[in-house]
Amino acid sequence: MKFFLEVWRQKNAQSQGGLVRYEVVGISPEMSILETLDVLNEQLLEKGEEPIAFDSDCREGICGMCSLVINGYPHGPEKASTSCELRMRHFQDGQTIIIEPFRAKAFPIVRDLVVDRSAFDRVMAAGGFVSVNTGNAPDANCVLVPKDVADKAMDAAACIGCGACVAACPNAAAMLFVAAKISHLALMPQGAPERDARVLNMRAQMDKEGFGHCANEYACEAACPKEIKVSNIARLNREFLRAVVCSDK
Amino acid sequence: MSFLSRFYSSSLGRKFFVAGAGLSLCGFLVLHLSGNLLIFKGPGVFNHFAKTLDSNPFILPLELVLAGFFLLHIVIGLIVRYHNYQARPIGYAKYSVKGGRTWGSRTMTLTALIVLAFLIIHLKDFRFGDRSQGVYDLVVSCLKNPYYAIFYIIAMISLSLHLSHGFQSAFQTFGLNHPKYTPAVKKLGYLFAAVIGLGFASIPLWIMLGKIK
Ligand code: HEM
Ligand code: FES
C-alpha cells in the first residue's frame, strides 16, 4: 500500500513546528501506523534526513507510551485501540493521513510527535497510591470486596495513563485520567485511609499542571483506548465534594 | 471565608459554582415564563400581574439574590472558559473526536455571550424601561419592531441550546451520574430546553404574526 503522511515536525520545545508531507510506499495492510512511521524513517535516513521522533514501547496496547493524533483522533479512529494497535488496513490505499502530537499546555512538545507527559507522574505522586505494610502476603479474603465493586475498580484500573483523554478534550482537561485513578483506589477498602487527602492533593496537582476544566462533553470517553467511563468523573466530583464538606482537611 | 476561597480556587469547586448557579437560574426561568405567558390572557391580567409583583416589598431583595446568581454564573463561567482556552495554546490541524459533543455543548460560549447581550438589552428595556403605560404596551411596542422580535427569538434559541447541554451537564458536575437515572436526566434536559425556548419565543412570534396587539 501507499500513503501520504502529513506529519508534525518540530526541532525542539522552543522552535516553531509545521506539517510536512511525505510519501511512503511498500506498506502492508497488517502493519501498524507506528511500523509505517518506522518504514518512513528508514527512507528518510537513506536520504540523509532527520527521522521523525515519536514515542512507543510495548507496541501491544498496554504501556500507554504511543501518543499520536491520527486524522484528528487520539490513537486513530478505531474504537478501544492505541496507536500501536492501529493497522493500516483501516485506511484506503493512497489516503492522506495527518499525524499530530497530543496538544495541551501541560504536555509540552519535546520534539516532533514526542510530548512530555510527566505532568501525569506528578499528579500520581501527589496521591495516586496506597500505603501498605510489606511482609507476608495477607490471607486471601480477609478483606471482603463485593464482586460488583471489584469489577468497577478493575474497569477504572484499566487506565494506562496515555493521555489520550487530555488530547481529545476540547479543554485539554485531565479529568478522565484523574477520575480513573481516584475511582480505582476510592472503591477499594485498601484506599480508604488516604481517601480524602488523595482526592484533594491530586486535584491540586492537576490544576497546577495547567490542565483545563471539564465541560462534560465526553470526548475523552470516546478517545480512551481502555474505554474508561465518564461515570468515573462523576465519582471524582463526589469524592472531591465529600472531602471538602466532610473531612477536616 | 478561607474555606470558600479555597473551594473556589480549585477547578472542581469553580464548576460547582457555575452548575449550582446555573440550576438555580433554571428554576427562575420557570417562574419567569409562567408570568410571561399571562400576556396571552390580555392586557388586564398581564398588567395586574406586573403591578402585583412591583408592589410586593420582598421582590427587591429577591431580585438582588437573582442578580447574584446571574453574576456568579456569568463571571465564573467565563473565567472557566478562559482557563480552558489557555489550556491548549496550539490547536489541531484536524480535530475529529465527537463522543458526547452536541450542538449545545459545542456552542456553550457563543450561546452564553448571546444570552448575556440579550440580558443587558432586556433589563434596560423592560426592567428599567418606561412602565408608566403598563408593561403590556411596553412589551408589545418593543416587539412590534421585527428586528427586535427576531433578535429576541435568536436569543431564545441560544438559551435553549445552552440549556440542552447545561441542564444535564450540571448533574454530572454534582457527581450525579448513574445508568439508573442519567438517561432520564438527559431527556428531561432536552424537554426543559425545548419548553423554555418555545415558551419564551412564542410571545415575539405571536406579536409578529399580529395575534397579540
Ligand atoms: C438564564 C440563563 C442561564 C441559565 C439557566 C444557564 C444555565 C447553565 C447551566 C445549568 C450550565 C451547566 C453547568 C455545568 O456544566 O455544570 C451552564 C453552563 C455555562 N453557562 Fe450558563 N446559563 C444561563 C446564562 C448564561 C450566561 C448569560 C452566561 C455568560 C455570559 C453563561 C455562561 C455559561 C458558561 C460559560 C457555561 C459553561 C461552563 C463550563 O462548563 O465550562 N450562562 N449554564
Ligand atoms: S506502545 Fe505501548 S500502548 Fe502503544
B11-36 and B146-173 are packed helices; what angle lies between their axes, rounded to 10 degrees?
Answer: 140
Mark whether A121 and A222 lie in a shared domain.
yes
Helices (H), chain B: 2-8, 11-36, 43-55, 59-86, 103-106, 108-122, 135-143, 146-173, 182-208
Residue A87 Cβ < 6 Å to ligand 2: no
Residue B2 has pLDDT above 80, yes or no: no
When pLDDT is cut at 50, 70 and 90, the band that residue A141 belongs to is: confident
From the list A19, A207, A220, the residue facing B10 with the nearest CB is: A207
In a domain, B93, yes or no: no
Kindly provide the ipTM of the predicted complex, given to two decimals.
0.93
Which atom, in ligand 1's list, is nearest to the CA of B116? 27
Beta bridge partner(s), residue A97: A5
* Closest CA of chain A from B15, distance in Å: 8
Residue A86 Cβ < 6 Å to ligand 2: no
Which atom, in ligand 2's list, is nearest to the CA of A62? 3
Give distance in angstroms: CA of A164 to centre of ligand 2. 12
Neighbours of B41 (CB within 10 A): 11
d(CA B156, CA B194): 10
From the list B98, B168, B173, the residue facing A237 with the nearest CB is: B173
Query: Is A156's Cβ below 8 Å from some Cβ in B?
Result: no
Residue A3's SS3 state is strand
- The secondary element (H helix, E strand) that includes residue A90 is none
Mutate to test the pocket of ligand 2, among A59, A102, A113 (most ligand atoms within 8 A of CB): A59
DSSP code per residue over A104-171:
-TTS-EEETTEE--HHHHHHHHTT-------SSPPPTTSS---HHHHHHHHHHHT-----HHHHH-TT
Query: Is A79's Cβ below 8 Å from some Cβ in B?
Result: no
Assign residue A89 the CATH number of its domain: 3.10.20.30
Mutate to test the pocket of ligand 1, among B23, B33, B73, B165 (most ligand atoms within 8 A of CB): B73
* CB within 8 Å of B208: residues ≥ 6 apart: B143, B146, B149
Grid cell, residue B182, equals: 442519567
Residue A33's SS3 state is helix
Mark whether A12 and A75 lie in a shared domain.
yes
Yes or no, beta carbons of A221 and B80 under 8 Å apart: no
Assign residue B133 the CATH number of its domain: 1.20.1300.10
- The secondary element (H helix, E strand) that includes residue A60 is none
Residue B10 amino acid letter: S
Neighbours of B127 (CB within 10 A): 9
When pLDDT is cut at 50, 70 and 90, the band that residue B213 belongs to is: confident
DSSP code per residue over B84-132:
HHHT-SS--SS----TT--HHHHTHHHHHHHHHHHHHHHIIIIISS--T
Atom 20 of ligand 1, nearest CA residue: B77
When pLDDT is cut at 50, 70 and 90, the band that residue A137 belongs to is: confident
Query: Is A90's Cβ below 8 Å from some Cβ in B?
Result: no
Last residue of a domain, one of A111, A130, A149: A111
Rounded to 5 degrees, what angle do the CA atoms A61, A62, A67 make? 60
Mark whether A106 and A167 lie in a shared domain.
no
From the list A72, A171, A240, the residue facing B12 with the nearest CB is: A240
Q: Are A220 and B104 in contact (CB under 8 A)?
A: no
Residue A37 Cβ < 6 Å to ligand 2: no
Residue B167 Cβ < 6 Å to ligand 1: yes
Mark whether A106 and A121 lie in a shared domain.
no
DSSP B40: G
Position A6 scores a pLDDT of: 98
Position B123 scores a pLDDT of: 97
For A6, phi then psi, to 5°, come to -105, 105
Last residue of a domain, one of A50, A78, A111: A111
Cα separations (Å) of A143 from A137, A140, A190?
Answer: 12, 8, 9
Cα separations (Å) of B121 from A175, A237, B59, B137, B203?
Answer: 37, 36, 21, 17, 17
Mark whether A93 and A172 lie in a shared domain.
no
Beta bridge partner(s), residue A23: A4
From the list A72, A105, A231, the residue facing B97 with the nearest CB is: A72
User: Which whole number is the average pLDDT over A17-44?
Assistant: 97
Residue A33 structural domain: 3-111
Atom 3 of ligand 2, nearest CA residue: A61
Query: Nearest Cα to A54, choosing from A211, A39, A174, A173?
Result: A39
Q: Report the percent of chain B where pLDDT is more than 70.
A: 100
Mark whether A131 and A236 lie in a shared domain.
yes
Q: Are B172 and A216 in contact (CB under 8 A)?
A: yes
pLDDT digits (tens, 9 = 90+) for B120-165: 999 999 999 988 889 999 999 999 999 999 999 999 999 999 999 9
* Closest CA of chain B from A103, distance in Å: 6
Yes or no, beta carbons of A222 and B98 under 8 Å apart: yes
Mark whether A140 and A226 lie in a shared domain.
yes
Give distance in angstroms: CA of A218 to centre of ligand 2. 23
Mark whether A27 and A132 lie in a shared domain.
no
d(CA A239, CA A198): 10
In total, how many domains does chain B have? 1
Q: Are A77 and B96 in contact (CB under 8 A)?
A: yes
In total, how many domains does chain A have? 2
Average pLDDT value over all residues in chain A: 96
pLDDT digits (tens, 9 = 90+) for B156-204: 999 999 999 999 999 999 999 999 999 999 999 999 999 999 999 999 9
Residue B1 has pLDDT above 80, yes or no: no
pLDDT digits (tens, 9 = 90+) for B30-53: 999 999 999 999 999 999 999 999
Residue B20 structural domain: 11-87+107-208
Position A139 scores a pLDDT of: 86
Mark whether A125 and A94 lie in a shared domain.
no
Residue B142 Cβ < 6 Å to ligand 1: no
User: Which whole number is the average pLDDT over A203-213?
Assistant: 97
Ligand nearest to the CA of B156: 1
Residue A136 has pLDDT above 90, yes or no: no
Assign residue A195 the CATH number of its domain: 1.10.1060.10
Helices (H) and strands (E) in chain B, counts: 9, 0
Which atom, in ligand 2's list, is nearest to the CA of A55? 1
DSSP A57: S
Mutate to test the pocket of ligand 1, among A171, A216, A240 (most ligand atoms within 8 A of CB): A216
Residue A23 has pLDDT above 90, yes or no: yes
From the list B86, B105, B179, the residue facing A215 with the nearest CB is: B105
d(CA A18, CA B115): 38
Query: Is A202's Cβ below 8 Å from some Cβ in B?
Result: no
Grid cell, residue B88, equals: 491548549
Q: Are A57 and A84 in contact (CB under 8 A)?
A: no
* Closest CA of chain A from B191, distance in Å: 19
Mark whether A179 and A95 lie in a shared domain.
no
In a domain, B133, yes or no: yes
Mark whether A106 and A179 lie in a shared domain.
no
Yes or no, beta carbons of A172 and B100 under 8 Å apart: no
Position A39 scores a pLDDT of: 97
Mark whether A100 and A155 lie in a shared domain.
no
pLDDT digits (tens, 9 = 90+) for A86-96: 999 999 999 99
d(CA B174, CA B170): 6
